[in-house]
């Protein structure tokens, strides 16, 4: 199979997965007993709703018409990025989500990059000097750390650095009503980001680190390392450009597999730090039983996870020449 | 110039190299041979400074002791002045890196260069190792084994090193690729010091001037490759060459008894050596020069067991032997070939003391044999063409085999019986009481000959004279008896003087060959040499006749002849691989 075909099939796989999710989103509420509007919005919302609103919603979803018309309306709504109406926030679900999504992406994206990069570097260094003090401390420390659940690390950090030492803000993503601009705004956001980010990284780091370290230990026994040393390559070059490059392959695969875990971790962390991302949003949506919002968030998170996986897949193919040309 | 003095390398407690001394001049190439585990690769890696264990001694390269310089200095030498080509295993090249980048790296770590120059240099290197330039952009998994090997060579040659170490460079290649790669090696090694680590004797022969044989971390013999192969002098070297299946070896493969053991006191080889003496298991023999060869052996290498000097003999003024000189070494088979009446049987009978020579002398283990006493017959035994000559029809099997022990008054009766049964076991005969009580006429011809051999071996002699031992037997029994003799030789280090008129048979069993004509030895030498380049016209004729007999086989001849012919057919295949074995007389 050649390269294009290969990536085409994997993209196709993702499209199918997405289609299944959209289909479920459409079918499930309509299969519930009773009135679909009920199922979509929940009792409380309907109580608060005026009859006009109800009528306009029924029109929008084409609930009074045939099954095919409903599907068509659903697809058209999706194409318009219309995920329904959040009665709790009294605005479109999509715009509520759009307000929270960047914060979550910022948090998870940075956590992913930092945890992976740091894990790889620590893993390489510690695998290189296997058995030395540094190696043993790192193995023990990071194994210990990654044994905790995310929220636990979050709470500990919050208590130590936020409450006791008062070094970082306790909640939120920016200081409200401070009217900060430019660089100050950035710094402020960063200060708010540090603790949640640190907790996410701390929990994610262990897995990357251990995998890298063990891969490096095996790779260092391979003959191409000896070949490189015989060429006169420096330790740095052998560590990073030969062993390091080869260990990216298993690390990338593992990262792809860990992305869902990263997202769920982020949801909890956000709640702890009242970070205004999807996690907190989901929390309040659950409190208010804002069904359309809950559904929208789950849909977005799923899409985000799938997209991230697709990216990892494509990255892997760039990294390993053997996959492209595998027969 | 590369000089290694007292190099020792160990990994933890295990010492892999136990004192290597080696000196190589400019442009000299040396093969390092030995069975796996002997330390060949460790030696190569030690020179490259790539072993993880601890290294002591001296490695002098252009006057600098490599073991004393800093790691940074060493790294500057590596790949630039000292280069190593590794065995082409699947992962000898970085799997995720393009070929051109890997080769470029070899240059870049030592010389800063512009992008364009590098590209040109890489392409030139690829070309010089016989690779097409479109391979430059390939990844290792897209190349064949031979191509990967070429890339490894290109990387090693990238900076035109002074010392090149090749580690089993053709081990995993098929025969045709191997031939191509060998050609390439030949062109790259002659302008630098090269060490070829291999267990492939024919490759050593094709590439190197010198050869060093390693055994359990020590060098046991160094000499010129050609001479080492045709005339190995250390017992281990001989074993190694005997066990190597070459296209020019004619003899059946023979192993070396036992296994290589590490960390023995004394000579590392003494447990497997068939000529070991007392001192061998307590003192390590040092390499010393003996007749232009460096040999580490307390006995100066394989010792001559039997020396015959200038032997003359005549019956009634008709001279049967004239100036016959022969040397038979410990543990080897010397075939004495000649037609009937050439004097070969007379010669063997003189050795046994059945006739008295008129002139000349016979030395056994360096001592002149004047009278043949018990101690002589303990060391020299004979088996005859007709086993009836040595086996009395009035004695049963057990008595026959025990007789020499009785004569020698060895031990108690039980011990003798045990020894006799052991001898019978060696010749693969049963030793249940029924069989032991049988008389020769109750046995088949092959069994009687085995009994005769058992009788000869009961005393564990050093030398066995076998006078046409199988010519009275049918071919399949003959083959079995010969196999048996060879196995016994391998196990006990027996030297055999194999007297025969059948040159085809001699070819399969002997290390060396002496051709006899009218009471004179007209030609001696390594069997394959004698057969492939016969010097004397008489030898040539013998070879031609034997070859003709093999052609006769095609038309269906008697069984015995076809046996001989069969041997030659194999020989023909040796020369013309893959084709129908058409035998050309000129080949010989
Ligand atoms: S004779 Fe002694 S020193 Fe020589 S190889 Fe045999 S055991 Fe070693």
> DSSP of B232-255, one letter per residue?
--SHHHHHHHHTS--SS--SPP--
Across the beta sheet with B82-85, the strand order is B82-85, B163-167, B193-197, B29-33, B210-215, B218-224, B293-295, B288-290
In the listed set B182, B208, B234, which residue is the last one of a domain according to the structure?
A: B208
pLDDT in tens, A241-291: 999 999 998 998 888 888 888 888 888 888 888 888 888 888 888 887 777
Report yes or no: B344 and B336 within 8 Å, Cβ to Cβ.
yes
Q: Is B64 within a domain?
A: yes
B72 Cα to chain A: minimum distance (Å): 9
Distance B382 CA to ligand 1 centre (A): 27
Residue A2 has pLDDT above 90, yes or no: no
Identify the pLDDT of residue A154.
Answer: 85
Average pLDDT, chain A: 82
Answer yes or no: do B109 and A226 touch at CB < 8 A. no
B68 CB-contact burial (10 Å; exposed 0-12 / middle 13-18 / buried 19+): exposed
Helix (H, G, I), strand (E, B) or coil at B138: coil
Contact present, B208 and B223 (Cβ < 8 Å): no
B91 Cβ under 8 Å from any chain A Cβ: yes
**Model confidence at B559, in pLDDT bands (50, 70, 90)?**
very low
Alpha carbon of B284 to ligand 1 centroid (Å): 9
CA of residue B24 to ligand 1 center, whole Å: 26
Q: How does DSSP assign A1-68, residue by residue?
A: --HHHHHHHHHHHHHHHHHHHHHHHHHHHHHSSS-HHHHHHHHHHHHH--HHHHHHHHHHHTTTS-HH
Residues 6+ apart with CB under 8 A from B574: B247, B248, B250
Closest chain A CA to residue B153: A227
Mean pLDDT to the nearest integer, A295-310: 86
Does B141 contact A at CB distance below 8 Å?
A: yes
- As a whole number, mean pLDDT of residues B137-151 equals 90
A55-104 pLDDT, tens digit each: 777 776 666 777 777 788 778 877 777 777 777 777 888 888 888 888 89
Q: Is B242 within a domain?
A: no
pLDDT at residue B586, rounded to an integer: 37
Longest dimension (CA), chain B: 94
pLDDT of residue B164: 94
**CATH number of residue B482's parent domain:** 3.40.50.300
**Element spanning B516, H or E:** strand B512-517
**Total of domains in chain B:** 2
Residues B340 and B457 in one domain: yes
Domain that holds residue B52: 2-208
SS3 B585: helix
Q: At what angle do helices A245-273 and A93-128 cross, to 10 degrees?
A: 130
Distance A319 CA to ligand 1 centre (A): 57
pLDDT, one tens digit per residue, over A119-156 is: 999 999 999 998 888 999 999 998 888 888 878 888 88
The C-alpha atoms of residue A53 and residue A61 are separated, in whole angstroms, by 12
Interface of A with B (CB under 8 A): 222-224, 226-234, 237, 242, 245-246, 249, 319-322, 325
Inside any domain, residue B264: no
The per-residue pLDDT for B558 is 43
- The percentage of residues in chain B with a pLDDT greater than 90, rounded to a whole number, is 28
pLDDT (tens digit per residue) in A147-182: 888 788 888 888 888 777 877 777 777 777 767 777
Give the per-residue pLDDT at B369: 84
Which whole-number Å values give the CA distances from B156 to A227, B164, B187, B461, B588, in the listed order? Answer: 9, 8, 14, 53, 41
Between helix A291-319 and helix A278-288 the angle, nearest 10°, is 150
> Confidence band (pLDDT; 50, 70, 90) for B573?
very low
pLDDT band at B513 (very low <50, low <70, confident <90, very high): very high
Average pLDDT, stretch A37-50? 67
ipTM of predicted assembly, 2 dp: 0.76
Q: Is the pLDDT of residue B554 over 50?
A: no
Q: What is the pLDDT of residues A15-27, one digit of tens each?
A: 888 888 888 877 7
- Lowest-confidence segment of B78-92, B237-251, B466-480 by average pLDDT: B237-251
Q: Whose CA is nearest to atom 7 of ligand 1?
A: B270
Residue in chain B lying closest to A227 (CA):
B92
The residue behind tokens 């949003």 is A281
The Cα of A128 is separated from the nearest Cα of chain B by a number of Å equal to 13
Assign A32 a pLDDT band (cuts: 50, 70, 90).
low
User: Quick check: is B580 in a domain?
Assistant: no
pLDDT in tens, B326-362: 999 988 899 999 888 888 888 988 898 888 888 899 9
Question: Does residue B329 share a domain with residue B201?
Answer: no
Q: Where are the alpha helices (DSSP H) in B357-510?
A: 374-379, 397-408, 413-426, 433-436, 445-457, 475-492, 503-509
Q: Considering only alpha carbons, which residue of chain A is nearest residue B151?
A: A227
Q: Would you place residue B545 in the very low, low, confident or very high pLDDT band (cuts 50, 70, 90)?
A: confident
Which residues 68-87 in chain B show a CB within 8 A of chain A? 75-80, 83-84, 86-87
Which of the two residues, B374 and B89, has the higher pLDDT score? B374
Q: What does the block give as tokens for B104?
A: 């470029």
SS3 of A84-116: CEECCCCEEHHHHHHHHHHHHHHHHHHHHHHHH
What integer best gives the mean pLDDT of chain B? Answer: 84
Mean pLDDT of B132-154: 89
* B343 and B203 assigned to the same domain: no
What whole-number percentage of chain B has pLDDT above 70?
92
Whether B319 is in a domain gets the answer: yes
Which residue is closest in CA terms to ligand 1's atom 3? B297
Q: In terms of C-beta distances under 8 Å and separation of at least 24 residues, what long-range contacts does A159-162 make, across chains too?
A: A161/A195, A162/A195
Domain boundary among B208, B229, B253: B208
Whether B459 is in a domain gets the answer yes
Chain B residues touching A226 at Cβ < 8 A: 50, 86
Residue carrying structure tokens 């006009």: A52
Residue tagged 């540090």 (tokens):
A194
Contact between residue A295 and residue A83 where contact means Cβ atoms under 8 Å apart = yes
Based on the domain organization, do B375 and B495 belong to the same domain? Answer: yes
Inspect the interface and report whether the beta carbons of A227 and B155 lie closer than 8 Å: yes
Residue B254 in domain:
no
What distance in Å separates the CA atoms of residue B291 and residue B228, rounded to the nearest whole number? 12
Sole residue written with tokens 């040539």 = B540
For residues B176 and B11, the answer to whether their CB atoms sit within 8 Å is no
Per-residue pLDDT, averaged over B104-122, amounts to 87
Tell which of A231, A234, A249 to mutate to test the B interface (max B CBs under 10 Å): A231
* End-of-domain residue from the set B160, B191, B208: B208
Mean per-residue pLDDT for B427-434? 84
Domains and CATH numbers, chain A: 2-92 (no CATH), 100-325 (1.10.3720.10)
A114 pLDDT more than 90:
yes
Identify the residue whose tokens are 């080769």. Answer: B103
In 3D space, the residue among A254, A257, A267 whose CA is nearest the CA of residue A150 turns out to be A267
Residue of B nearest to A238 (CA): B94
Is residue B420 situated within a structural domain?
yes
pLDDT of residue B231: 87
């Amino acid at each position: 199979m050649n390269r294009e075909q290969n990536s085409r099939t994997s993209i196709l796989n993702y499209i199918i997965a997405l289609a299944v999710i959209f289909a479920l989103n459409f079918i499930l509420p309509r299969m519930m007993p009773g009135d679909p509007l009920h199922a979509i919005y929940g009792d409380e919302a309907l109580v608060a709703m005026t009859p006009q609103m109800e009528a306009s919603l029924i029109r929008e979803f084409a609930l009074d018409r045939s099954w095919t018309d409903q599907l068509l309306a659903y697809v058209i709504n999706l194409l318009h990025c219309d995920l329904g109406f959040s009665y709790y926030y009294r605005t479109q679900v999509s715009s509520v989500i759009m307000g929270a999504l960047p914060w979550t992406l910022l948090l998870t994206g940075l956590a992913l990059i930092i945890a992976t990069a740091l894990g790889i570097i620590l893993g390489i260094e510690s695998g290189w000097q296997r058995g030395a003090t540094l190696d043993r401390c790192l193995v023990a420390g990071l194994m210990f750390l990654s044994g905790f659940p995310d929220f636990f690390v979050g709470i500990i950090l919050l208590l130590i650095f936020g409450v006791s030492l008062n070094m970082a803000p306790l909640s939120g993503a920016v200081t409200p009503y401070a009217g900060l601009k430019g660089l100050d705004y950035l710094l402020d956001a960063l200060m708010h980001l540090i603790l949640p980010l640190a907790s996410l990284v701390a929990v994610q780091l262990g897995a990357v680190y251990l995998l890298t370290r063990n891969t490096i230990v095996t790779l260092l026994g391979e003959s191409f390392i000896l070949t490189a040393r015989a060429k006169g390559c420096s330790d740095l070059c052998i560590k990073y450009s030969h062993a390091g490059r080869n260990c990216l392959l298993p690390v990338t695969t593992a990262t792809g597999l860990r992305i869902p875990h990263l997202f769920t971790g982020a949801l909890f962390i956000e709640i702890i730090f009242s970070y205004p991302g999807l996690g907190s949003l989901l929390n309040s949506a659950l409190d208010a039983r804002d069904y359309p919002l809950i559904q929208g968030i789950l849909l977005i998170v799923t899409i985000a996870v799938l997209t991230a996986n697709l990216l990892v897949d494509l990255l892997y193919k760039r990294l390993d020449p053997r996959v492209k040309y595998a027969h | 110039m590369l000089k290694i003095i007292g190099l020792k390398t160990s990994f933890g407690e295990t010492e892999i190299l136990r004192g290597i001394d080696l000196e190589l001049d400019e442009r000299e190439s040396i093969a390092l041979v030995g069975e796996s585990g002997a330390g060949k690769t460790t030696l190569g890696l030690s020179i490259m400074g790539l072993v993880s264990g601890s290294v002591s001694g001296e490695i002098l390269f252009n006057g600098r002791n490599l073991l004393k310089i800093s790691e940074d200095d060493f790294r500057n030498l590596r790949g630039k002045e000292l280069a190593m080509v590794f065995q082409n295993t699947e992962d000898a090249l970085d799997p995720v890196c393009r070929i051109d980048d890997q080769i470029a790296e070899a240059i870049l770590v030592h010389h800063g260069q512009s992008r364009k120059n590098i590209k040109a240099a890489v392409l030139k290197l690829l070309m010089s190792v016989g690779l097409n330039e479109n391979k430059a952009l390939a990844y290792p998994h897209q190349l064949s084994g031979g191509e990967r090997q070429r890339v490894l060579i290109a990387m090693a040659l990238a900076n035109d090193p002074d010392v090149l170490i090749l580690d089993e460079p053709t081990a995993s290649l098929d025969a045709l690729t191997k031939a191509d790669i060998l050609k390439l090696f030949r062109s790259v090694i002659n302008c630098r010091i090269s060490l070829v680590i291999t267990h492939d004797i024919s490759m050593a022969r094709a590439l190197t001037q010198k050869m060093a044989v390693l055994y359990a971390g020590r060098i046991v013999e160094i000499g010129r490759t050609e001479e080492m192969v045709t005339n190995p002098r250390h017992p281990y070297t001989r074993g190694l060459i005997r066990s190597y299946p070459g296209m020019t070896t004619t003899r059946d493969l023979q192993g070396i008894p036992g296994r290589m053991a590490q960390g023995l006191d004394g000579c590392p080889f003494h447990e497997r050596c068939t000529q070991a003496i007392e001192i061998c298991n307590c003192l390590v023999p040092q390499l010393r020069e003996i007749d232009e060869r460096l040999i580490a052996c307390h006995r100066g290498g394989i010792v001559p067991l039997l020396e015959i000097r200038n032997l003359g003999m005549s019956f009634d003024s008709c001279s049967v032997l004239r100036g016959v000189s022969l040397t038979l070494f410990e543990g080897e088979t010397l075939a004495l070939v000649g037609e009937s009446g050439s004097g070969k049987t007379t010669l063997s009978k003189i050795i046994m003391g059945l006739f008295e020579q008129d002139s000349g002398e016979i030395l056994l283990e360096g001592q002149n044999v004047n009278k043949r006493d018990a101690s002589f017959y303990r060391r020299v035994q004979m088996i005859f063409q007709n086993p009836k000559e040595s086996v009395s029809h009035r004695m049963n099997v057990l008595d026959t085999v025990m007789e020499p022990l009785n004569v020698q008054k060895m031990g108690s009766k039980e011990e003798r019986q045990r020894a006799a049964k052991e001898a019978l076991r060696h010749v693969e005969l049963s030793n249940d009481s029924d069989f032991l009580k049988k008389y020769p006429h109750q046995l088949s011809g092959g069994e009687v000959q085995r009994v005769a051999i058992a009788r000869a071996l009961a005393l564990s002699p050093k030398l066995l004279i076998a006078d046409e031992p199988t010519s009275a037997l049918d071919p399949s029994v003959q083959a079995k008896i010969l196999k048996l003799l060879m196995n016994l030789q391998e196990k006990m280090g027996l030297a055999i003087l194999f007297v025969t008129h059948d040159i085809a048979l001699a070819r399969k069993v002997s290390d060396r060959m002496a051709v006899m004509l009218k009471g004179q030895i007209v030609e001696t030498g390594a069997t394959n040499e004698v057969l492939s380049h016969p010097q004397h016209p008489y030898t040539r004729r013998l070879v031609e006749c034997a070859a003709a007999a093999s052609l006769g086989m095609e038309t269906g001849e008697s069984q015995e002849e076809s046996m001989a012919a069969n041997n030659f057919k194999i020989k023909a295949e040796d020369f013309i691989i893959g084709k129908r074995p058409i035998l050309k007389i000129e080949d010989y």
